[in-house]
Amino acid sequence: MSTLPQDPEAQIPRKKITTLVFRQKKERGEPIAVLTGSDYPTALALDRAGIDAILVGDSLGMVVLGYENTLPVTMDEMLHHCRAVARGARSALLIGDMPFMSFQVSIEEAIRNAGRFLQFGGMEAVKLEGGRERLPAIHAIIAAGIPVMGHLGLTPQSVNLLGGFRPQGRTAVTARRLLEDALLLEEAGCFSLVLESVPARLAEMISKRLTIPTIGIGAGAGCDGQVLVTHDLLGLFDRFTPKFVRKYANLHTEMQIAFSAYIADVQGRAFPAQEHSIEMPAEEWEALVHKPNR
Ligand code: KIV
């Protein structure tokens, strides 16, 4: 495990990560580390820690907003969180996740909504879920000058079609379709591709066939990079932890401990203490108490 420098704020600024850097990292065989972000302090910490990219994923609908799944998330909600992340991050590549129904209705809407991520959300690229059926939208968004990250395998916006949050590509037929979709997305000009919940050896095969980097989540070690939902990694999401997550902290418990300590301090009059109080100059106090009409 790496250690933090003495003063995390004094770190030398890093080189800006771009979609080109993503490609170069794949060429050099350097793993790409991506995490989700949805607020300013988290973006700041991710960026200072050296993350390659921050994905403002629509999973924020579940882990931040408490929805049952990602379907209710709106463009306005996404842009609100994107702006907060953009204020905190300097070097990481910033990718905004296109929410359900923001790119499916028409090509025009897909371009307009993708553009809003860059124009009003401070993002530098967008991600959208789906394979061959999304090619017209992907072509059009890229033609508008917006880098696109694809997303195949378990695509949570299609949870109702998939029959639940279940691994994809476990049969030869579905695996072949996944590989074909991956090649089509690369050909369409996607700069990278998320592979979610697919067998490790299939993800490795796809990663070897593509020149663009694959970013895996529940797709094994053979991908060119990895992404996790930050709230899962930090132990901040209370409902469930997917099998593919490694928890690096247990912040939900830490938060409860801190909140309980605060409540006890307030109830026991241990907070605020002298050092948290604002002083008034003695002569002003005297004037207030003894010369009420001054
Ligand atoms: O919304 C999200 O966080 C994602 C990642 C899981 C890839 O799409």
- For 24-82, how does the pLDDT look when each residue is reduced to its tens digit (9 = 90+)? 999 999 999 999 999 999 999 999 999 999 999 999 999 999 999 999 999 999 999 99
The CA distance from 220 to 218, in Å, is: 6
On the question of pLDDT at 9 being above 70, the answer is: no
Phi-psi region of 7 (alpha: psi -120 to 50; beta: other; left: phi over 0): beta
On the question of pLDDT at 8 being above 90, the answer is: no
Looking at residue 13, what is its pLDDT? 77
Residues 6 or more apart from 140 whose CB is under 8 A from it? 107, 110, 111
Mean pLDDT of the chain: 95
Looking at residue 2, what is its pLDDT? 46
Find the DSSP H helices in 165-218: 172-188, 200-209
Task: Render pLDDT for 164-193 as a digit per residue (tens, 0 to 9).
Answer: 999 999 999 999 999 999 999 999 999 999
Q: Which residues are catalytic?
A: 196
Ligand 1 pocket check for 182: Cβ under 6 Å = no
Task: Point out the ligand 1 atom lying closest to the alpha carbon of residue 59.
Answer: 1
Where b means 16+ CB within 10 Å and e means fewer, 166-191 reads: ebbbeeeeebebbbebbebbbebebb
As a whole number, mean pLDDT of residues 118-128 equals 98
Looking at residue 289, what is its pLDDT? 93
Report the nearest-CA residue for atom 5 of ligand 1: 57
Looking at residue 4, what is its pLDDT? 55
Of the pLDDT bands very low, low, confident and very high (cuts 50, 70, 90), residue 239 is: confident
Of the chain, the percentage scoring pLDDT greater than 70 comes to 95
As a whole number, mean pLDDT of residues 144-159 equals 98
On the question of pLDDT at 292 being above 90, the answer is: no
Of the chain, the percentage scoring pLDDT greater than 90 comes to 91
Structure tokens at 19: 């979609």
Ligand 1 pocket check for 58: Cβ under 6 Å = yes
Looking at residue 147, what is its pLDDT? 98
Structure tokens at 25: 């990292």
Report the nearest-CA residue for atom 3 of ligand 1: 57
On the question of pLDDT at 114 being above 60, the answer is: yes
Ligand 1 pocket check for 194: Cβ under 6 Å = yes
Task: Point out the ligand 1 atom lying closest to the alpha carbon of residue 229.
Answer: 3
As a whole number, mean pLDDT of residues 209-213 equals 98
Ligand 1 pocket check for 204: Cβ under 6 Å = no
The CA distance from 107 to 138, in Å, is: 9
Phi-psi region of 15 (alpha: psi -120 to 50; beta: other; left: phi over 0): beta
